[in-house]
Chain A
Amino acid sequence: MLPKIIKKDDLRAFVEALLAENVVVAPTKKGIKYAFAEVDSFDEVALDYNITMLSPRKYFYPQNETVLKFKLGEKPSAEAVVESAPKIIFGMHPCDVAATWLLDVVFAEDPADPNYLSKRKKAVIIGMNCAKPCDEFSFCKDMKSYNATAGFDLMLTDLGDKYFVEVGTEAGEALLVAGAQASEASADDLKALQEWQNGKEKSFVNRIPYDTKFLPEILGASDDSLVWEAIARKCLSCGSCNTTCPTCYCFTVRDEVASNLVDGERKRIWDSCQLDEFAEVAGGENFRKARSARLRHRFNRKGKWLLERYGKSGCVGCGRCDRNCLVKISSVEVYTQLAGERAK
């Protein structure tokens, strides 16, 4: 679909038009940090945010979601709950778009999961391209997710006095046609985009000293590396790296019964492979008792296994895990050390 142009001053009107008829979720300022939240006005949108605490995965895959309602008693009954509501997610950065794309593939794998997919399918993603890395933790260039190639409905790039709008889907185009004073992108606009892109290439640096296409191979040869034990000395198994990761999708399931002791709900709740009991089975056997084994598991998921299984990287290099690790365990350093070189 042909790219479009929205004048800088027209963005407010576009977002307000979206707000008039839709639930819009966008980055907002939360103290000194940012978070995706429902907004009521354009002024709440933090257009220049760097990175949010959590990615918008929480809108497709809530941290705590009711998946079943049941009734106890002589004749128990149970009805699955699949809830979804249309939403526009405005301002998603390319790394989060890439992470969402992976989750789309994971939850669509047979048997498909309608709890995720129904929410996802009713969401329109309007992305916002990044001109520079969020901060020193970003390694999205290494993970090749700093440019969004697909997975969005619209993707906006700030060219100064206008936004260049890549149109990914018909749904995105329809919103644009109805709500924005958009014009066709001209040859000059395409040139301006190219120049912008050249600048972007310069401001994003690689931090891992090798092409990450070799990461699966490097991880594959590192099962017995003492690096896992070295980082295990520091790791607290707190699970923050999982909670904040846009590609983490592991969950546990828990039943809750109301005080009338009849009605109850089954919830699926984000889980963390860094917790001791994650792989424990009855009889006390734990397949990843050692913290080093759990760290190896997480890094292999991120850098190797999900790619092998789903054809998409399990890590988009957003840096949230490193940014939020209390003891400063760094993915970039781990991947660098495993390859036998010190981090740059």
Chain B
Amino acid sequence: MTVKEKNTPQAGSIFQPTIGKIVAAKMLTAKEKYFRVVLEGGKPLGQKPGQFVEISVFGAGEAPISICSSPTQEDSFEMCVRNVGSVTNLMHQMEAGATLGMRGPYGNGFDMEAMKGHDVLFVAGGLGLAPARGVIKYVLDKRRDYGDVTILYGARNPSELLFKEDLSEWEARPDCAFHITVDRPDDAWKGNKGVITTLFRHVKVDPSKTYAVIIGPPVMYKYAILEALSMGIPESRILCSLERRMKCGVGKCGHCQIGNVYVCKEGPVFSYAQIKRLREGI
């Protein structure tokens, strides 16, 4: 009378990565590197704007990284990675032709359907431009589905500006308003100076039909949300993407927990209406 094998679970391991190949890599700044990755068999990642992947560098571990390209680009996906530790350091040593592991896409992403027909105000600070870029590119690719598009971007100093080609394109495009600022300008800088919230005075929005998309370092959220609220945008249409430590990306390891939510699963995108109920949220 041995124990009978009961039903074994259907799905595969939550830890199984897919192999991807880096087809383009270049330094964007001294600390951030850009990668374009094609998955095995060329299959599309099929992400929603605002989702992330868990990148594996075998031997070093995994790191959650935002997808900074739009799903309208199907043949590959892109990332912008800051060198801060073991996994990201090894990624920085990788060039086109190298392979890495990938799990995902994970997270809820932005509800692009709900945002249709609305004006969108993007507020991106620092590395927050990486996830924001995927959403911006999506909106600009589906330009007719959305109303007025305004992009605010702030960096610490001119040498830290990411995706300069995209910035010039957005600057030049007649169908979107673009404002940029740096905290600490150098001698060559002619534009705005000061933290990102100083850009809000250049912006007029119709709060009755605007979504604010806010992504930046933790310190930025409170101030940027305050600006959006004082413009009259309702809490439920102020959307933020939160960063937390993440070890699994699928709601098991507990690292990303705030209250009874897992940021990797129910987030990383939350409206301010949700965030205000989450202690330690911002």
* Residues in A lying within 8 Å of B, measured CB to CB: 17-18, 21-22, 67-68, 70-72, 75-82, 84, 86-88, 106-107, 109, 111-115, 117-118, 121-124, 171, 174-175, 177-179, 223, 249-255, 257, 264, 266, 268, 271, 273, 278-283, 285, 287-288, 293, 297, 300-301, 304-306, 308-309
Contacts and interface: CB of A to CB of B under 8 A. Distances in A.
A30 to B, nearest CB: 25
A22 B218 CA distance: 53
B18 to A, nearest CB: 9
B6 A122 contact: yes
Contacts of A171: 3-4, 6
Contacts of B255: 250, 252, 271, 278-279
B97 to A, nearest CB: 10
Interface residues of B, number: 50
17 contacts: A17-B1, A67-B13, A78-B56, A80-B12, A88-B3, A114-B8, A114-B14, A115-B14, A118-B8, A251-B247, A271-B247, A279-B244, A283-B218, A285-B218, A287-B218, A305-B257, A305-B260
Contact of A118 (B1, B9, B62): B9
B61 to A, nearest CB: 5
Contacts of A111: 11, 14, 250-251
B206 to A, nearest CB: 34
A97 to B, nearest CB: 17
Given A111-B11, A117-B9, 15 more contacts: A22-B2, A70-B59, A76-B101, A82-B13, A86-B2, A107-B252, A111-B250, A114-B9, A115-B13, A250-B255, A251-B253, A255-B60, A279-B245, A282-B85, A305-B259
Contacts of B101: 70, 76, 78
Given A223-B279, A308-B260, A78 B244 contact: no
Contact of B59 (A175, A264, A293): A264
A262 to B, nearest CB: 10
Contacts of A118: 8-9
B163 interface: no
B9 A121 contact: yes
Given A113-B252, A254-B61, A282-B82, A178 B1 contact: yes
Contacts of A124: 3
A122 B173 CA distance: 61
Contacts of A174: 1, 4
Contacts, number: 164
Nearest to A288: B280
Contact of B5 (A67, A71, A122, A223): A122
Given A117-B9, A253-B253, A281 B244 contact: yes
Contact of B16 (A68, A107, A309): A68
B19 A77 contact: yes
Given A175-B1, A278-B255, A281-B244, A266 B84 contact: no
Given A250-B254, A253-B253, A68 B15 contact: yes
Given A114-B9, A114-B12, A70 B58 contact: yes
B216 to A, nearest CB: 11
Nearest to B262: A309
A273 B254 CA distance: 8
B166 to A, nearest CB: 23
A280 B5 contact: no
Interface string B255-266: 101111000000
The 9 closest A-B pairs by CB, nearest first: A178-B1, A250-B254, A80-B13, A80-B16, A305-B260, A282-B84, A70-B58, A86-B3, A117-B9
A122 to B, nearest CB: 6
B42 interface: no
A121 B8 contact: yes
A283 to B, nearest CB: 7
Nearest to B218: A285
Contacts of A304: 260
B9 A249 contact: no
